[in-house]
Amino acid sequence: MTAGDGIVLRPARPGDVPLVLALIRELADFERLSDAVVADEALLADALFGDAPAAEVVIAEIDGTPAGFALFFHTFSTFLGRRGLYLEDLFVRPAYRGRGLGMQLMRHLAALAVARDCGRFEWTVLDWNAPAIGFYRALGAQPQDGWTVQRVEGDALRALATMTR
Protein backbone atom coordinates (compact mmCIF):
# COMPACT_ATOMS: atom_id res chain seq x y z
CA MET A 1 0.00 0.00 0.00
CA THR A 2 1.42 3.36 -0.99
CA ALA A 3 0.75 5.98 1.65
CA GLY A 4 2.28 8.96 -0.16
CA ASP A 5 5.49 10.97 0.36
CA GLY A 6 7.56 7.92 -0.67
CA ILE A 7 5.99 5.91 2.17
CA VAL A 8 5.02 2.33 1.42
CA LEU A 9 3.34 0.06 3.97
CA ARG A 10 3.49 -3.64 3.23
CA PRO A 11 2.94 -6.92 5.04
CA ALA A 12 6.12 -8.56 6.24
CA ARG A 13 7.34 -11.56 4.26
CA PRO A 14 9.34 -14.54 5.56
CA GLY A 15 12.56 -12.98 4.28
CA ASP A 16 11.88 -9.94 6.51
CA VAL A 17 12.37 -11.86 9.77
CA PRO A 18 15.94 -10.53 10.33
CA LEU A 19 14.67 -6.98 9.70
CA VAL A 20 11.74 -7.43 12.08
CA LEU A 21 14.08 -8.72 14.78
CA ALA A 22 16.42 -5.76 14.22
CA LEU A 23 13.50 -3.34 14.56
CA ILE A 24 12.35 -5.09 17.74
CA ARG A 25 15.84 -4.70 19.17
CA GLU A 26 15.91 -1.00 18.22
CA LEU A 27 12.54 -0.52 19.92
CA ALA A 28 13.80 -2.34 23.02
CA ASP A 29 16.85 -0.04 23.13
CA PHE A 30 14.55 3.00 22.94
CA GLU A 31 12.32 1.62 25.69
CA ARG A 32 15.35 0.79 27.87
CA LEU A 33 14.38 -2.90 27.75
CA SER A 34 17.20 -4.40 25.67
CA ASP A 35 17.80 -7.17 28.19
CA ALA A 36 14.19 -8.32 27.81
CA VAL A 37 14.55 -9.34 24.15
CA VAL A 38 15.04 -13.10 23.98
CA ALA A 39 13.31 -13.63 20.63
CA ASP A 40 15.44 -14.99 17.82
CA GLU A 41 14.86 -15.40 14.10
CA ALA A 42 13.56 -18.97 14.42
CA LEU A 43 10.98 -18.02 17.06
CA LEU A 44 9.84 -15.01 15.05
CA ALA A 45 9.65 -16.96 11.80
CA ASP A 46 7.41 -19.54 13.43
CA ALA A 47 5.27 -16.93 15.23
CA LEU A 48 4.74 -14.87 12.08
CA PHE A 49 4.80 -17.45 9.29
CA GLY A 50 4.45 -20.89 10.87
CA ASP A 51 1.47 -23.25 10.80
CA ALA A 52 -0.52 -21.11 13.25
CA PRO A 53 0.68 -17.50 12.93
CA ALA A 54 0.32 -15.62 16.21
CA ALA A 55 0.87 -12.11 14.90
CA GLU A 56 1.25 -10.00 11.78
CA VAL A 57 3.73 -7.27 10.88
CA VAL A 58 3.44 -4.24 8.64
CA ILE A 59 6.76 -2.85 7.42
CA ALA A 60 6.95 0.87 6.68
CA GLU A 61 9.43 1.93 4.02
CA ILE A 62 10.43 5.37 2.84
CA ASP A 63 11.88 5.40 -0.65
CA GLY A 64 12.53 1.66 -0.34
CA THR A 65 14.36 1.87 3.00
CA PRO A 66 12.85 0.16 6.07
CA ALA A 67 11.86 2.98 8.42
CA GLY A 68 9.53 1.35 10.94
CA PHE A 69 7.06 -1.38 11.71
CA ALA A 70 3.91 -2.35 13.54
CA LEU A 71 3.37 -5.81 15.02
CA PHE A 72 -0.22 -6.72 15.88
CA PHE A 73 -2.59 -9.60 16.53
CA HIS A 74 -6.24 -10.32 17.19
CA THR A 75 -7.89 -10.46 20.58
CA PHE A 76 -11.49 -11.23 21.50
CA SER A 77 -13.93 -9.20 23.59
CA THR A 78 -16.53 -11.28 25.37
CA PHE A 79 -18.53 -8.11 26.08
CA LEU A 80 -18.62 -7.11 22.41
CA GLY A 81 -18.77 -10.64 21.07
CA ARG A 82 -16.22 -9.60 18.44
CA ARG A 83 -12.52 -9.75 17.94
CA GLY A 84 -10.26 -6.75 18.37
CA LEU A 85 -6.94 -5.67 16.98
CA TYR A 86 -4.11 -5.33 19.48
CA LEU A 87 -1.00 -3.34 18.62
CA GLU A 88 1.93 -4.95 20.40
CA ASP A 89 4.69 -2.75 18.99
CA LEU A 90 4.93 0.38 16.88
CA PHE A 91 8.35 1.80 16.10
CA VAL A 92 9.73 4.39 13.72
CA ARG A 93 13.48 4.67 13.41
CA PRO A 94 14.70 8.05 14.73
CA ALA A 95 15.97 9.25 11.34
CA TYR A 96 12.43 8.90 9.92
CA ARG A 97 10.40 10.46 12.72
CA GLY A 98 8.35 13.55 12.04
CA ARG A 99 7.36 12.46 8.54
CA GLY A 100 3.92 11.09 9.40
CA LEU A 101 4.99 7.46 9.37
CA GLY A 102 3.48 6.68 12.78
CA MET A 103 0.21 8.24 11.67
CA GLN A 104 0.23 6.20 8.46
CA LEU A 105 0.82 2.98 10.41
CA MET A 106 -1.97 3.77 12.88
CA ARG A 107 -4.39 4.67 10.07
CA HIS A 108 -3.49 1.46 8.27
CA LEU A 109 -4.14 -0.65 11.37
CA ALA A 110 -7.39 1.17 12.08
CA ALA A 111 -8.51 0.47 8.51
CA LEU A 112 -7.59 -3.22 8.96
CA ALA A 113 -9.61 -3.32 12.18
CA VAL A 114 -12.63 -1.83 10.42
CA ALA A 115 -12.27 -4.13 7.40
CA ARG A 116 -11.99 -7.16 9.69
CA ASP A 117 -15.08 -6.07 11.68
CA CYS A 118 -13.13 -5.62 14.90
CA GLY A 119 -14.92 -4.02 17.82
CA ARG A 120 -11.83 -2.23 19.08
CA PHE A 121 -8.22 -1.31 18.38
CA GLU A 122 -6.06 -1.05 21.48
CA TRP A 123 -2.52 -1.03 22.82
CA THR A 124 -0.46 -0.09 25.84
CA VAL A 125 2.12 2.65 26.15
CA LEU A 126 4.87 3.16 28.69
CA ASP A 127 3.78 5.80 31.19
CA TRP A 128 7.03 7.79 30.77
CA ASN A 129 6.67 8.06 26.97
CA ALA A 130 4.98 11.47 26.87
CA PRO A 131 5.47 12.03 23.11
CA ALA A 132 3.74 8.73 22.31
CA ILE A 133 0.92 9.44 24.77
CA GLY A 134 0.38 12.85 23.20
CA PHE A 135 0.39 11.31 19.72
CA TYR A 136 -2.19 8.70 20.74
CA ARG A 137 -4.44 11.31 22.38
CA ALA A 138 -4.34 13.33 19.14
CA LEU A 139 -5.62 10.22 17.34
CA GLY A 140 -8.62 10.04 19.67
CA ALA A 141 -7.31 7.27 21.94
CA GLN A 142 -8.51 7.31 25.53
CA PRO A 143 -6.73 5.86 28.56
CA GLN A 144 -8.50 2.96 30.23
CA ASP A 145 -8.48 4.21 33.81
CA GLY A 146 -9.25 1.60 36.40
CA TRP A 147 -7.39 -1.14 34.54
CA THR A 148 -3.85 -2.27 35.24
CA VAL A 149 -1.84 -4.75 33.23
CA GLN A 150 -1.16 -8.02 35.03
CA ARG A 151 1.53 -10.45 33.94
CA VAL A 152 2.83 -13.87 34.93
CA GLU A 153 6.06 -14.97 33.24
CA GLY A 154 9.16 -17.10 33.67
CA ASP A 155 9.39 -19.10 36.89
CA ALA A 156 6.09 -17.69 38.16
CA LEU A 157 4.34 -18.89 34.98
CA ARG A 158 5.80 -22.37 35.31
CA ALA A 159 4.84 -22.49 39.00
CA LEU A 160 1.27 -21.44 38.22
CA ALA A 161 1.00 -24.07 35.49
CA THR A 162 1.95 -26.83 37.90
CA MET A 163 0.11 -25.51 40.97
CA THR A 164 -2.03 -28.19 42.60
CA ARG A 165 -4.04 -25.99 44.97
Query: Across-strand partners of 72?
Result: 56, 87
Catalytic residue among 36, 79, 136, 143: 136
136 an active-site residue?
yes
Q: In what order do the strands lie in the sheet with 56-62?
A: 2-4, 7-11, 56-62, 65-77, 82-92, 121-123
Among 142, 153, 36, 51, which residue's Cα sits nearest to residue 89?
36
Check if the beta carbon of residue 121 is closer than 8 Å to that of residue 85: yes
Catalytic site residues? 136
